[in-house]
Amino acid sequence: MKKNIEIVTPVHNEGASIYSTLDEYYTFLKNADIDIKFVISEDGSTDDTLNEIEKFSFKTDIKLITSKNRKGYSKAVIDGLKETSSDIVCFIDSDGQCDPKDLLKLLEKFNGNNLVIGNRKPRSDNSFRLFISFIFKIFYVYLTKIKLSDPSCPYFISSRKNIEKILDTENIGILKQGFWWEFYARATYLNIDILEVTVNHRKRKSGSTVVFKTTKLPRIAIDHIFSLFKLSKILKNL
């Protein structure tokens, strides 16, 4: 039986790569006999992202959510996930680092009730980003007691029902720069089974990951840790 999947992705100034990223998924999954619909949450782009999305929309069905002003990654993700209507939902980032071939691996382990997430091996991020992630993970494990191999991976398959459960929890989006850490933590405390699958992690097709100024890092680190404390209190009430 042919599967119908909605693929959610947030975009901000990805004009140089968004067409090729969408087309890669569309072509691969079409050949795999899977029907897909894209839900794109556009986050106040100032380049030609919207024009590239419009060009691609002639190929397949797209639901586009736009914003004149930038909302931030977490809000863009939440808005996109809320607009889904299919029973099976996949999430990808729009920078081309997620490999469409791995979607079949995630789908193979999906039983309709669990949350199947990627475990990126090896990660193609720079050493500084990996170091920050390592330090944050220490606090994350200590405060949440959750031991996932890759709790920041933006690649998963879930039922829409479970996504709705997670999004309905208190103060969703509290970790503005660490949304997936939060999302998977809430899922765990809601007793949603999480299964990790090894996936390929490619280099970005274009652009670069946002790197904060060194002078801002102490403040950002403090905000993250403070938000983790607040999240741990919320989790205890789920």
Summarised one tens digit per residue, pLDDT across range 3-42 is 899 999 999 999 999 999 999 999 999 888 899 999 999 9
58 touches 26 (CB < 8 A) = no
Q: How does the average pLDDT of the chain come out, rounded?
A: 89
Which pLDDT band holds residue 74 (cuts at 50, 70, 90)? Answer: very high
Which residue shows structure tokens 């170091």? 131
Residues of the domain holding 168: 3-236
Closest CA to 144 of 179, 178, 188: 188
Residues 6 or more apart in contact with residue 134 via CB below 8 angstroms: none
Residue 32's CATH number: 3.90.550.10
**Residue recorded with tokens 């996109």:** 80
Q: Are 95 and 124 in contact (CB under 8 A)?
A: no
Mean pLDDT throughout 98-126? 91
The answer to whether 92 touches 13, Cβ cutoff 8 Å, is no
The CA distance from 216 to 223, in Å, is 11
pLDDT at 11: 96
Alpha-carbon dihedral angle through residues 208, 210, 214, 220, given to the nearest 10 degrees: -160
* pLDDT-derived band at 221, boundaries 50, 70, 90: low
Reported confidence tier of residue 211, pLDDT bands at 50, 70, 90: very low
Confidence of residue 216 (pLDDT cuts 50, 70, 90): low
Q: Which amino acid type is present at position 97?
A: Q
Give the model's pLDDT for residue 203.
82
User: Who has greater pLDDT, 154 or 225?
Assistant: 154
Structural domains of the chain, count = 1
* Torsional sign, CA 63, 67, 70, 74: negative
Of the pLDDT bands very low, low, confident and very high (cuts 50, 70, 90), residue 205 is low
One-letter amino acid for residue 8 of the chain: V
